[in-house]
Amino acid sequence: MIPESRLVSQQDLEMLPVTSKSGNVYRLSEIAAVKQAFGPVEIIRDDQIKQVIVRADASGTSVGQALTLIKEKVANIQLPSGYTIAFGGEAQMIADMIKSVISIMLFAVFFSFIVLTVQFNNVKLPIIILGSIPFCVSGMFIALFLSGFPTGATVLIGVLVVIAATVNDGVLLLTFAEELCESENLSPLKAVVKAAKLRLRPRVMTTVSTLAGFIPLAVTASEGGGMLQPMAVAAIGGLSMEILVALFLMPCLYVIATPPRNQQKFCAASDQLIE
């Protein structure tokens, strides 16, 4: 190794000795042209592929918004053959986190289906409850679209909150409706309507208190709070939609999924009691 102190000029670099495989020693100027030019300070390779790393901080915006803008810009760049653009750093961490959270959500939905099926001893009610989740999640994306926030890893945390609220309300509502059918001999339609009316006030009070907790986070624009703003906005939209789904959509699906024969039986029993 030659000390860095001996390489202070271009001439010193040209006189640098280079030993060939045969053992002969040559000056660098004899086998290469030495000139000043701009180039990378270091050459980085990954799997024998040369890389050029560009780093930047997302100042005044979130990583998701900055990444969206960058992707829009680089989409119009015509790359030579063999060149690719990949996003790493925090963007790669967010992408990996999204994959992990999605896997957790799928497992949670599947596990919820198994537990609800065992609890209700049928698949009708679990399908109604879990089938309502996409409608609740649509409220999240509507809120994000109206507010201008992008989707990201933190938004998926809001999805978990909405899924938990949907399953909880669905279990309480439909279990109550089933109990009314058996105890008061009501038809499924009358039972679920009565259950929805009785569940209206506690459900609205619970949701309003939850939304009130998310509002400060949704309007906070300080550093650190910006990452959680999309999650809070998405949770507000999803929980607001969940009220409508639990009180209107689920009862309709419950009545539709109930066999007509059972409806006639409950109606006949109810008419006899009235007479």
The yes-or-no verdict on residue 263 having pLDDT over 70 is no
Lowest mean pLDDT among 9-18, 37-46, 184-193, 220-229: 220-229
DSSP labels, the chain: ---GGG--SHHHHHT-EEE-TTS-EEEHHHHS--------SS-EEETTEEE--------SS-HHHHHHHHHHHHTT--PPTT------THHHHHHHHHHHHHHHHHHHHHHHHHHHHHHHTSSHHHHHHHHTHHHHHHHHHHHHHHHTPPP-HHHHHHHHHHHHHHHHHHHHHHHHHHHHHHHS---HHHHHHHHHHHHHHHHHHHHHHHHHHHHHHHH--STTHHHHHHHHHHHHHHHHHHHHIIIIIHHHHHHHHS-HHHHHHHHHHHHHHH-
pLDDT tens for each residue of 139-157: 999 998 888 877 777 788 8
Q: What is the pTM of this model?
A: 0.65
pLDDT for 39-54, tens place per residue?
Answer: 777 777 777 778 877 7
CATH, domain range 90-274? 1.20.1640.10
